[in-house]
Structure formats: C-alpha cells, structure tokens
Amino acid sequence: MANEIDIKENKFPTFAPMREKQIVIIGAGPAGLMAAQTLAEKGFKVHVYEQNKAAARKFLVAGNGGFNLTHSEEIDNFIQKYDAPEIQNIVKNFDNQKVISWLANIGITTYVGSSGKIFPTKNFKPIQVLKAWLDYLKSLKVEIFYEHQFKNFDDHFVYFNENNKEINVRYSKLILAMGGGSWKKTGSDAKWIDILAKKNVQINPLESANSGYNTPEIFHQLQGQYLKNIKVSFEGNHKIGEIVFTKYGVEGSPIYYLNRFTRRQEFPLIIHLDLKPTGSEIDILKELQGSEKISSVLRRSIKLSTTALNLLKTLDKESYTNVDNLAQKIKQFPIEVLSFRPIDEVISTSGGVCFSELNKELALKKFPNIFCIGEMIDWEAPTGGYLLQACFSTGFFVGNSIAKIELQ
C-alpha cells in the first residue's frame, strides 16, 4: 500500500500551456501512451481511443514473465538487436537510459537483473506501473476513451464504432498505434490491415516472431524438460541460453533469436544444439574413448544434464554407441523444425507497414498527417526488453516529430 501512496502523491512537473490543435491517437498500448505523453508535455490536446475496456492489456501481459521493460546493454550493441536500421536510429534517440529516467520520473524504481534485463523493483507490480503512468497522463490532461473500435479515416476525420453507433472525430494529426497480430485477446487483432490496404498502403504480411518451433513427435516425450547454457545455431547464427521442450516442440530465447533467420528459408529445416559449448569435440571424444560406460562418461566426466542425456537417447542405437558420432552430436545435435507456432500464440509479429510507405517522421506518404508507431511497422526484435523499448522509442519519436511540425 505504501507504494500506491507514493505514486498518488508524486508531484508531477508543470508543462507548456494547452494548445488548440487536437492530436488523436488510436491504441492505448506502450507506443500510443508514450506518444500521448510526449505531446501532452508540450501542451498539445491529446485524445487516445482504445477498443478494449482498459489500457495497455498486452503491456500488462509482459508482466507474466517478470515485467521486463528494457535492457541494460550498451546502446551500440543494443540497437543491433533490431533488423530495421530506421528503428535502430529511433531507439538510439530515446534509449534504455532514457526509459529508466522516465520511469523514475513517474515514481517507478528499477533494477538490473542477472541477465541484464531491467525490471521494476520488486515492490511494484505491473498494474502499479501502469497506474503510475496513467495517473501521470491524467495530470497532463490526456483523455482516454475506451470501447471505441476503429473503422476508417479520411483527411480530416477518424471514424469509430461506440456502442453500435458510428462517431467521427476531427484530428489535426492522427497517430496509429494498434499493434501487431499476436495475442488477439489483448487487442492486437490487426484489423487495421484491411483498412490501410484499401487505401493502397503497402503492408508486409504479419508472421510469427519470437515464436517456438513445432518439431517431430520424437521430441515431444521431453515435454517440460529444460536445457540450460546451450548454444542454438542455424547457418552461422547462434545464441547461448535456455530452451524448454514442449508438447509441440521447443521454446526459449535462443529459439526466438533464430526466428528472423529461419523465416527466410522453407520449412522443414534443421537447427543445431551444442549441448556442451565450453568443451571441444576433440576433448569430448577423448572422454568417450575411455573404458568407462558411455552413460557414466556423459553424466560424470562431460557433466551433461539429465535433459541432455534424455535427448541423446532419442538417437538410434548405432549413433549412440559410435563415440565419434556421439561426440559430434553433443556439439551439433540436429533438431528438425517443421513450422512456427500459430500467430495468435506468439509473443510478437514480424511484418507490418513498410518503411517505404513512411517518411522520415514515420508519417504515411499518402496521408502526411497520419503517423504509424510501435508494432504496426515492419520491424523485428528478440525478447529481453527490446520489443517494449522500440514501442516507447517510436512513440517518443513521433510525438516529437509532430510537435516540431505543428510549432513551425
């Protein structure tokens, strides 16, 4: 309760007087709310329209994994996690350190976890972080209208359905922040695609990103078992980390990292697991060539985990008993990948509005008063705080871009 009191009593700074022109934002997720904050701090009248009954439902879902808000990585390495140079530059402009400062400004303290991920301190639950942010936006006179379904727009008005009634809202600038296509129950249903496509805006198809892989049934018997500190690789791209076997295949941060590389290929394909990244194949082979039983060497000398041992047992007898082959498999265990998981089950999506459709301020070239931010745009990043960071960054970027345009 003490934290809630602190948030309520937080003395927010005073900003510029209210300006007449109305900015309309569709989508009360992290990108939309950050754009609202940035513009409201500069004195603009901001109205946010959200189709759900509450703000930032997908933002809160991130709290299920500990509420990882960004990452502490040094910025030059940080931005390399994004596949789009445009997003790299935008993130560099509003980086992880600025996110930490913003959180402190609304009363949320943070800490760096052992993996470098940044979280709110343990006394703050996800809903408290969101409440602090919404309280701050309220102090800036940002208005959020819930249960408004986006239907269309033209050069001057945006159209919504509210309680089965069509309403229109005039805008000076319109910001589209409606998310990608994963986790539809949170509001990211991608219904905006048809609306923009009918206006000849080029959109790359949404595909599963940060997705697990479906694998052959032979690996399903390992459901619930983890492999820690292994290296997962595909065609020269690799990442060390933890994976888990599931009832349908494999999940985990290294798997998600490989998504963007495997997406360029046709399924089925093969990824490889290095079950002992700290040991060479030659050293492993020497251990296996001794007189001790193979199972004992694997467990006691090579120190493979129980899950790794169970995985090796999926090999045929000839492969398992041939020490040359076994050493090679420990360093490069092949896993056949059949497909991504369904788009509604994955953490994020690739695809979206093409950068070729946007100018340098992220406004649509065909509609220069309409801007796109967040996961609506075609970019991709791994988990670990990078997704939320880019949403915050694009919201801040477009908010500043509009302010500069309007104040000219």
Write the pLDDT tens digit of every residue in 120-179.
Answer: 999 999 999 999 999 999 999 999 999 999 999 999 999 999 999 999 999 999 999 999
Question: Worst-scoring range by mean pLDDT, 4-13, 70-79, 381-390, 396-405?
Answer: 4-13
pLDDT digits (tens, 9 = 90+) for 211-264: 999 999 999 999 999 999 999 999 999 999 999 999 999 999 999 999 999 998
Pairing of strands 173-176, 367-372: parallel
Which among 162, 145, 131 is positioned nearest to 1, based on CA atoms? 131
Residue type, 369: N
**SS3 sequence of 249-284:** EEECHHHHHHHHHHCCCCCCEEEEEECCCCCCHHHH
Measured in degrees and rounded to the nearest 5, phi and psi for residue 78 equal -55, -50
Other CB atoms within 10 A of residue 331 CB:
19
pLDDT recorded at residue 15? 60
Q: How far apart are CA 380 and CA 321, in angstroms?
A: 42
pLDDT band at 99 (very low <50, low <70, confident <90, very high): very high
Residue 85 CB-density burial (10 A; 0-12 exposed, 13-18 middle, 19+ buried) = exposed
Residue type, 22: Q
Q: How far apart are CA 301 and CA 244, in angstroms?
A: 24
Whether 292 shows a pLDDT value over 70: the answer reads yes
pLDDT recorded at residue 1? 33
Q: Is the peptide bond before 85 cis (omega within 30 degrees of 0)?
A: no
Whether 112 shows a pLDDT value over 70: the answer reads yes
169-192 mean pLDDT:
95
Stated as kind and residue range, the H or E segment containing 100 is: helix 96-105
pLDDT recorded at residue 5? 29
Q: How far apart are CA 55 and CA 177, in angstroms?
A: 12
Beta bridge partners of 371: 175, 363
Contact assessment for residue 178 and residue 194, using Cβ atoms and an 8 Å cutoff: no
Q: How far apart are CA 164 and CA 277, in angstroms?
A: 59
Whether 107 shows a pLDDT value over 50: the answer reads yes
Percentage of the residues of the chain whose pLDDT score is greater than 70 = 94
pLDDT recorded at residue 14? 56
pLDDT band at 69 (very low <50, low <70, confident <90, very high): very high
- In the three-class reduction of DSSP (H, G, I as helix; E, B as strand; rest coil), residue 300 is classed as helix
Q: Please name each of the domains of the chain with its CATH number.
A: 2-208+347-406 (3.50.50.60), 213-340 (no CATH)
**Residue 296, both tokens:** 């004992």
Percentage of the residues of the chain whose pLDDT score is greater than 90 = 90
Q: How far apart are CA 88 and CA 74, in angstroms?
A: 13
61-71 mean pLDDT:
83
Other CB atoms within 10 A of residue 13 CB:
9
pLDDT recorded at residue 402? 98
Whether 384 shows a pLDDT value over 70: the answer reads yes
pLDDT recorded at residue 102? 98
pLDDT digits (tens, 9 = 90+) for 355-378: 999 999 999 999 999 999 999 999
pLDDT band at 17 (very low <50, low <70, confident <90, very high): low
> Mean pLDDT score of the chain, rounded to an integer?
94
Measured in degrees and rounded to the nearest 5, phi and psi for residue 236 equal 85, -5
Q: How far apart are CA 37 and CA 31, in angstroms?
A: 10
Query: Quick one: how many helices (H) and strands (E) in the chain?
Result: 15, 21
Whether 317 shows a pLDDT value over 90: the answer reads yes
pLDDT band at 62 (very low <50, low <70, confident <90, very high): confident
What is residue 29's DSSP assignment?
S
Which among 263, 244, 272, 242 is positioned nearest to 254, based on CA atoms? 242
Task: Report the chain's C-alpha Rg in angstroms.
Answer: 24
pLDDT band at 21 (very low <50, low <70, confident <90, very high): confident
pLDDT recorded at residue 63? 61
- From edge to edge, which strands make up the β-sheet containing 249-251? 333-337, 269-274, 226-234, 237-245, 249-251, 213-214, 339-340
Whether 2 shows a pLDDT value over 60: the answer reads no
Q: How far apart are CA 367 and CA 339, in angstroms?
A: 37
